[in-house]
Amino acid sequence: MIVNAPDRRQPRFHFRPAQNWMNDPNGLIQWQGQYHLFYQYNPAGPYHARIHWGHAVSRDLVHWEHWPVALTPTPGGPDQDGCWSGCAVDNAGVPTLIYTGVHPQVVCLATSADGLRRWDKHPASPVIAGPPPEIAAGTGGHFRDPFVWREAGQWHMVIGSQAAGRGGLVLHYRSPDLLRWEYLGPLLAGDATQAEPVWTAAMWECPNFFALDGQHLLFFSAQTAPGELLYPVYYAGAFDGQRFQPRAQGILVHGQSFYAPLALRLDDGRLVVWGWLKEARSEAAQRAAGWSGALSLPMTLGLTPAGELRIEPVAELQALRQAPRHFAELALSPGRAGWLDGLHGDCLEIEAVFEASPEAEFGLQLLAAPDGQEQTRLIYAGRTQRLSLEADQASLSPDVDRGVRRAPLSLAGGALRLRVFVDRSVIEVFANGRLCLAGRVYPTRPDSLGVDLLVRQGPVRLKSLTAWPLSAIWER
């Protein structure tokens, strides 16, 4: 195996395997005081092929320890071409993984008898051999990513699919024993012609379904027909055990870098979600780097009474903070720079509170070279009520996506409170506890580290800003 030189784009406080490819988080479960994370993993290289389940364990949601690979495709078995995404449940004391075998896409089980280290494929696999016959033709064989929960003495499952030419599907099943599954119908069917408030495209993968704040939250990841990955979409609504009636809808995490999220209900009641942070550079660049993909920070989810999303990074991340720097009460005007006295870094958390007039346009400059040749900007524009991550000058490399990523955000006359996490090639921004915008940027210059305030139109007042260098999660 080729061991690549250290890469300054490798995140330091986001989980990822030491090398090679990862995509979706899988099988999240809290077991005897530890959090278990599984993930789509290719041990053979930094590209998507013959997917295994990697495995890691944490006691605090922040620091992780790598464990041996949990699932490997079995030659001649229903998962011979890959162990694709799925979930984990506690089946009366037996830890059980419920995952997608390919090809064709089927539902498989594996169990562990030694404390989640070794996994045995269940001889009854596949427990569902394909989509329900009455809709199979329209699914084109897309039938994946089982998500299972227990309710009223039964197991329930949702699984992603599509009705070709119409839109995505979340299919609903029920079982007494995880082995015999009865198809109950679609939990939700999409309309690919609907553009507002969110286009949900052609195929839905990785569904999740939870009771949350007196409502139910459904989310899934939307794909276009040719397999372009878009974003995770959520619906909030009412569920009576059989029928789900959505009433609010949106994008779970904006920016088109965060995909295929999976959530875990912690024993303390919080609902915490992680997603796959896709790369935004060419396949050739990923192969040259020797690694691809990282896990997002853990984020808690909630719903307002109107079904709007609440989203915040988990409090446990504060364990990574080093000595802070503070700034306060600055009246900001356009055309000036150097507000933050040389603040710099590429592994940082920044918490900033701004008060601004409705037409103001302002924000932060990140990962900026001293001469500004490389820089990423995070801008709030009052007029358009949008938060944007502007990556058009983020990198001198020709191999990267330099798109501008936008998310709608109304301040309704109030302040803007940002929590920004910069981890080399990863930027995650939380705004007012109401939205998350995630992006990937690949500065090439070693001195692209600067942080500054930026005002295009005032008046704007910085109430306070605190910046912490964050430590790596692999060093205790």
Catalytic residue set: 24
Encoded one letter per residue, x for contact with ligand FRU by CB under 6 A and - for no contact, window 73-92 reads -----------xx-------
Helix (H) and strand (E) counts in the chain: 2, 33
Nearer to ligand FRU, 10 or 100 (CB): 100
- Tokens 């090679």 -> residue: 20
Radius of gyration of the chain (CA): 22
- List 260, 272, 294, 387, residue binding ligand FRU (CB under 6 A): 260
- Tokens 């999303």 -> residue: 309
Other Cβ atoms within 10 Å of 166 Cβ, number = 14
- List 23, 161, 286, 292, residue binding ligand FRU (CB under 6 A): 23
d(CA 431, CA 409): 8
Encoded one letter per residue, x for contact with ligand FRU by CB under 6 A and - for no contact, window 134-173 reads ----------xx----------------------------
Closest distance of CB 440 from ligand FRU, Å = 16
Sites for ligand FRU among residues 42-61 (CB under 6 A)? 51
Closest distance of CB 227 from ligand FRU, Å = 8
- List 205, 349, 361, 452, residue binding ligand FRU (CB under 6 A): 205
- Dihedral angle of Cα 221, 219, 255, 380, to the nearest 10 degrees: 160
Distances (CA, A) of 73 to 7, 40, 70, 148, 378: 30, 12, 10, 22, 42
Other Cβ atoms within 10 Å of 180 Cβ, number = 13
Closest distance of CB 372 from ligand FRU, Å = 36
Closest distance of CB 141 from ligand FRU, Å = 12
Nearer to ligand FRU, 25 or 298 (CB): 25
| Longest pairwise C-alpha distance within the chain | 68
At 455 the three-state DSSP class reads strand
Nearest Cα to Cα of residue 37 among 10, 59, 20, 12: 59
Question: Does 100 participate in binding ligand FRU (rule CB under 6 A)?
Answer: yes
- List 20, 30, 40, 376, residue binding ligand FRU (CB under 6 A): 40
d(CA 40, CA 55): 9
206 in Cβ contact with 25 (< 8 Å):
no
CA 16 to chain centre: 13
Closest distance of CB 145 from ligand FRU, Å = 5
At 464 the three-state DSSP class reads strand
> Which stretches of the chain bind ligand FRU, using CB under 6 A?
23-24, 40, 51, 84-85, 100, 144-145, 205-206, 259-260
